[in-house]
Amino acid sequence: MYLGELSDDTPDDRSCARTMSHQCCNNFVFAMGFLKLSSPNFEVLKIFESFFSREEQSPSVNPHHSFDHCELRLEPDHRTGHAVFSPSRTRKTNSLRCWCACRSDGAESPVLDDKESPLLPDKPTRVKYGELVILGYNGFLPPGDRGRKRSKYVLWKRPDPNGVKRSKHYVVKTPHSSQAILDSNQHSISYTLSRNQAIIVEYMPDEDTDMFQIGRSSENPIDFVVVDTVAGEKNGDSGKVVQSTISRFACRILAERANPSVARIYAAGFDSSRNIFLGEKATKWQEGRDIDGLTTNGILLMHPQGSFCGGDSEPGVWREVSVCGGIYSLRESRSAQKKGRAVEEVTNVLQDGTLIDLCGATLLWRSAEGLEKSPTKDYLENLVDKLNAGRPVCPVGLNTLVIPRKASFTGSDGGSDKQQPYVYLNCGHVQGSHDWGHEKNSHTRTCPLCNKASIVGPVQKLCMGIEPAFYVDAGPPIFFAFNPCGHMATEKTVKYWASVMIPHGTNAFESFCPFCATPLEGFPGYVRLIFQDNVD
């Protein structure tokens, strides 16, 4: 479908581009069209970008780059109704492509009428297995998500399967020189029984599964690089862990291609040589012809009781998953030699809301089906907008407060510090920054609304918990905040996470805020927010 031609010699390039941009955006269903550019012009490209781009989906066009050819591909996002802008370059042709075509009522636009070009078929929909989200981050890793190191990882169905399944096993005297270990194309697990004996289990390709690996290593076999989570606000490189307790190849997930709702987790991952080694001191055992084992610090699982997204879920019981996917009760300590009791009634199939503890970081599994029922980031930001529209005020300074929409405490969307709301953690009253009731040489204050000597306690900045995967409901905007960090969320979300005990250290457990990993203080570890004015 030929739309027209633009060149640098044409004085009306920009106006023509604007006209065609308006035509393309004006309630059309999408098909492929072509707009020929004799010599792509940066200003013209920016005009198309300004009409078609949407938020971070649109890479910027660098005016210092010279393009022999530029292709603008505008694809319809049926979920949001937006057009997605993505430029690409090639040396074969000299055209600017864009998604355009007929109106949704079936009538063709006179500008776009070209019956010689057929409509392209719809792109196949990508199949999503689910997402892994690290607890303790409010939507991104500071200073930003980069490559395989990010706060969340989406598991998509791969173009070609890369899963493996157990094939055969045998005993060898020198495992490191065995053919299966030396063959870099052969997946295998080596269970060392003694210095002179080991059992090698070979794995063969499985056309029915996709494999995803998680660990601390940045080597190619790892799909999702995870480092130790530091509690509290995270600014750049502050609070780095000196010695990590997360395994370099911590665990692997196998998702069924024919049934995307089924994803199983296993302890340990294959290294760059496609091997897994369980040393002589590792916990391992034989039952009949089968052999299994546990990793040094273990991979722990906790399935929620009930539907995670719905607000009625309760925390389950922590278990340990083995290298072969068996489920066992916890060891006496994290790295104890004796394995726990086998738990036959629990499986290694991930459920929506399953927690995976790597001993240093905890991951939340959200299934694709569960995410469809969960609130979106736009929905959460809309809740904040509605709250700010009520113009809550500080009872002392009488100034309007503005709840930050950003996922950090370091700003309030352009508002001044006077607009930053603070919460009195002992009573929940929300106020601005002031010195009334401040105790000298102390971080505690007396709430001016309660005005009682018994209501003396710390205050904290409020910030919206903006990572939607942590929300268990999209209920009415009755906000609660975690104590002591001040992250806001819906009532059921705050109460759920306050009841979840996360593994800590060798055999301890503690509740913490999912948005920053700050351990909760006091009982119940949260407070209901009380705003002044009409948004109580």
Q: Tell me: the pLDDT tens digits for 260-271? A: 999 999 999 999
C-alpha distances (whole Å) from 271 to each of 68, 198, 360, 438 are 42, 18, 20, 56
136 touches 233 (CB < 8 A): no
Give the pLDDT confidence of 315-339 residue by residue, as tens digits.
999 999 999 999 999 999 998 999 9
62 touches 78 (CB < 8 A): no
Confidence at residue 448, expressed as pLDDT on a 0 to 100 scale: 78
Amino acid making up residue 91: R
DSSP character at residue 519: B
> What pLDDT band is residue 145 in, cutting at 50, 70 and 90?
low
pLDDT of 20 above 60: no
As a whole number, mean pLDDT of residues 487-498 equals: 94
Torsion angle (degrees, nearest 10) of CA 43, 47, 53, 58: 0
Q: At 328, which helix (H) or strand (E)? A: strand 327-328
Give the pLDDT confidence of 34-76 residue by residue, as tens digits.
343 434 444 444 444 444 443 333 334 333 333 333 444 444 4
Ramachandran angles phi, psi of 495, nearest 5° = -65, -35
pLDDT of 112 above 70: no
Helix and strand totals (H; E) in the chain: 6, 32
Confidence at residue 394, expressed as pLDDT on a 0 to 100 scale: 82
Give the pLDDT confidence of 129-142 residue by residue, as tens digits.
999 999 999 887 77
User: Where is average pLDDT lowest: 81-85, 188-192, 313-317, 500-504?
Assistant: 81-85
As a whole number, mean pLDDT of residues 99-126 equals: 44
pLDDT of 475 above 80: no
- CB burial of 18-55 (b: ≥16 within 10 Å; e: otherwise) equals bebbeebeeebebbbbbbebeebbeebbbbbbebbbee
Confidence at residue 74, expressed as pLDDT on a 0 to 100 scale: 42
As a whole number, mean pLDDT of residues 237-251 equals: 77
User: Where is average pLDDT lowest: 66-70, 202-206, 241-245?
Assistant: 66-70
pLDDT of 104 above 50: no
Give the pLDDT confidence of 54-65 residue by residue, as tens digits.
333 333 433 333
In the three-class reduction of DSSP (H, G, I as helix; E, B as strand; rest coil), residue 371 is classed as helix
pLDDT of 292 above 70: yes
Confidence at residue 37, expressed as pLDDT on a 0 to 100 scale: 40
DSSP character at residue 157: P
- What whole-number percentage of the chain has pLDDT above 70? 68
pLDDT of 252 above 70: yes
Q: At 95, which helix (H) or strand (E)? A: strand 95-100
Q: How far is CA 412 from the centre of its chain?
A: 23
Mean of pLDDT over the chain: 76
Confidence at residue 32, expressed as pLDDT on a 0 to 100 scale: 36
Q: At 21, which helix (H) or strand (E)? A: helix 13-25
Q: Which two tokens stand for residue 195?
A: 């210095």
Instruction: Tell me whether the omega of the peptide bond preceding residue 143 falls within 30 degrees of 0, making it cis.
Output: yes
As a whole number, mean pLDDT of residues 103-118 equals: 36
User: Where is average pLDDT lowest: 80-89, 91-100, 497-506?
Assistant: 91-100
As a whole number, mean pLDDT of residues 367-382 equals: 93
Which pairs from 120-126 meet CB under 8 Å and 24+ separation? 120/31, 120/32, 123/75, 126/156, 126/157
